[in-house]
Chains A and B, each alone.
Chain A
Amino acid sequence: MLKYIIPTMMLMPLTWLSKNSMIWINTTLHSLLISLTSLLLLNQFGDNSLNFSLTFFSDSLSTPLLILTMWLLPLMIMASQHHLSKENLARKKLFISMLILLQLFLIMTFTATELIFFYIMFEATLVPTLIIITRWGNQTERLNAGLYFLFYTLAGSLPLLVALIYIQNTMGSLNFLILQYWVQPMPNSWSNTFMWLACMMAFMVKMPLYGLHLWLPKAHVEAPIAGSMVLAAILLKLGGYGMMRITLLLNPITDFMAYPFIMLSLWGMIMTSSICLRQTDLKSLIAYSSVSHMALVIVAILIQTPWSYMGATALMIAHGLTSSMLFCLANSNYERVHSRTMILARGLQTLLPLMAAWWLLASLTNLALPPSINLIGELFVVMSTFSWSNITIILMGLNMVITALYSLYMLITTQRGKHTHHINNILPSFTRENALMSLHMLPLLLLSLNPKIILGPLY
């Protein structure tokens, strides 16, 4: 594991000690090489995880998330180059350092064996993200957004700390590898109900669950592009990953404790999809789309069947890449028009046809077109929820229709139609932007050829 942590730590001196003209080149280059080494984690066994040491391990659930994390850093660096070009050198280096710090904490979160270590790293990821949102966001609302983001997550996760310390005292160890064999069935009692809630609420807020999702549109919209990318692609998945780990300890009361959250998620995914149809702000639409997709993941994790876990893992990776790409596309619009209003810059297909191709691909994967991995994830979730309860197919089907509706609405509003006269003079797409989009899309398309690596530990 040190072979990922030490190079990532060394990216920090690389940014601070590089020549002024070379900071972006150096960081992009070395973060790309680190993402290459992350593929080594794919040597997974069938019945065990890769146990690097007492502190770090990586199994088929954390491996795709780790690869996604390490792949996203060079993409974030590339996406931020334009809007940071006016800042002074120290601020640029500080921004990159925040991204690297975040990457470091995320790597350690996904590979932690000890659950308290996981918790500390889980909370630690909040700090660089908060700094990125509040310092480099573009509107005054970013302060409010940072507050919502920080306090929602903290309030949800403080009970988790108490619960973890309680488990440490009763079970004797919080090492996840040992816990999975020592776990006892949790008897039904009031205190165990609260224990279940304490364990799960942190991850519910992070996912986010429908009722607790208010921080997400604010944070995603106000964050700069790198912040939006990492929030949508990875930080939401921290919640899913945590839920999949912690539910091991919480059986069998999950059978009935999960009902309110399944109901909230099933209803919430339709609500947030419908809200997407009424959005004027492009980034807000993509943010609500994230809530909708993550609601599917919550349902999948809570019903705890093998197929639903496979669907949840696939959906997390697929949504990470798709959502990050959509935010990059929205940012390419924003950098030209300086507004996130969708109808303000429409008919872009005539002006920027190659970017329109990327918009098309991103929208198609967002609406889960076969044979993309988005479809594989959604299909597995729909199938497993159908077998859990037949009625959910109505809600799932309705959600897929509305998802298609708003994805196409976003595509048609921004790309099709007559372009507005005031965007006549927008600059052609840069090579940087096209490279960024293809670096998002190609892994997505390649994964549809070989999805077994993202299907998680129950494959």
Chain B
Amino acid sequence: MLGLCGRRLLAVAATRGLPAASVRWESSSSRAVIAPSTLAGKRPSEPTLRWQEDPEPEDENLYEKNPDSHGYDKDPAVDVWNMRVVFFFGFSIVLVLGSTFVAYLPDYRMQEWARREAERLVKYREAHGLPLMESNCFDPSKIQLPEDED
């Protein structure tokens, strides 16, 4: 039991970077031996192999210098302004005002007018007994054909 606690304390201390022990002691209840780490205070060695999962050396991690980076620029001030410009002009102005404009377009391609005009003409023609539609687009009596040439 105490050995388990000892191991957990060791793990906790190790993650927090504190030296796990300053003297060497052996646990009486378990076979655990707690000793100061020989690596304490030494810098971790450079990796000798390059793994594929390591980031490319040319790649710039924008989050390293600026953890609040928005992805636009290295300079945090320019980055924030760019983000603000994109969101304000892109969303607030173009998308919002633009979709309002499109939603309130007056009678796009005169569809509503066409319906009203058709109903008006139908009403007129039914009231006057005229046919609703004629197959002639233009009045045939007004078309002047050239004379037949033989």
Q: Which A residues form the contact surface with B (CB < 8 A)?
A: 21-22, 24-25, 28-29, 32-33, 35-36, 39, 42-47, 60, 71, 74, 78, 81-82, 85-86, 338, 421-425, 427-428, 430-433, 435, 438-439, 442-443, 446, 450, 452-453, 459
**Choice from B90, B103, B109, B111 contacting A32 with Cβ under 8 Å:** B90
Identify the stretch in B10-18, B61-69, B120-128, B133-141 within 8 Å (CB) of chain A at 4 or more residues. Answer: B61-69
Given contacts A46-B110, A81-B72, A459-B109, contact A28 B95 (CB under 8 A): no
Distance of A453 Cα from B111 Cα, bound (Å) = 12
17 A/B residue pairs, CB under 8 Å, sorted by A: A22-B78, A29-B85, A33-B93, A36-B97, A43-B105, A46-B110, A47-B110, A81-B72, A425-B54, A428-B63, A435-B90, A442-B91, A442-B95, A446-B99, A450-B103, A452-B108, A452-B109
Q: Which 4 A-B pairs have the closest CB atoms?
A: A430-B71, A46-B110, A422-B53, A432-B71
Closest to A75 in B: B90
Collect the chain B residues with CB atoms within 8 Å of residue A431's CB. 70-71, 83
**Choice from B72, B113, B114 contacting A24 with Cβ under 8 Å:** B72
Collect the chain A residues with CB atoms within 8 Å of residue B38's CB. none
Closest to B109 in A: A46
Collect the chain B residues with CB atoms within 8 Å of residue A438's CB. 91
Distance of A46 Cα from B129 Cα, bound (Å) = 29
B102 adjacent to A453 (CB under 8 Å): yes
B98 adjacent to A39 (CB under 8 Å): yes
Collect the chain B residues with CB atoms within 8 Å of residue A47's CB. 110
B102 adjacent to A42 (CB under 8 Å): yes
Give, as a whole number of angstroms, the nearest-CB distance from A442 to chain B: 6
B110 adjacent to A421 (CB under 8 Å): no
The interface size bin for chain B is: 35 or more
B114 adjacent to A46 (CB under 8 Å): yes
Interface residue? B60 (CB, 8 A): yes
Q: Which B residues form the contact surface with A (CB < 8 A)?
A: 51-56, 58, 60-63, 69-75, 78, 81-83, 85-87, 89-91, 93-95, 97-99, 101-103, 105-106, 108-111, 113-114
Collect the chain B residues with CB atoms within 8 Å of residue A33's CB. 89, 93-94
Distance of A33 Cα from B54 Cα, bound (Å) = 42
Closest to A429 in B: B71
Closest to A22 in B: B78
B53 adjacent to A25 (CB under 8 Å): no
A28 adjacent to B82 (CB under 8 Å): yes
Closest to B80 in A: A431
Collect the chain B residues with CB atoms within 8 Å of residue A25's CB. 78, 81-82, 85
Collect the chain A residues with CB atoms within 8 Å of residue B73's CB. 21, 24, 81, 85
**Which of A71, A422, A427 has the most chain B CB atoms inside 10 A of its CB?**
A427
A427 adjacent to B63 (CB under 8 Å): yes
Collect the chain B residues with CB atoms within 8 Å of residue A43's CB. 105-106
**Choice from A45, A82, A422 contacting B51 with Cβ under 8 Å:** A422
Collect the chain B residues with CB atoms within 8 Å of residue A29's CB. 85, 89
Distance of A232 Cα from B6 Cα, bound (Å) = 62
Distance of A71 Cα from B58 Cα, bound (Å) = 32
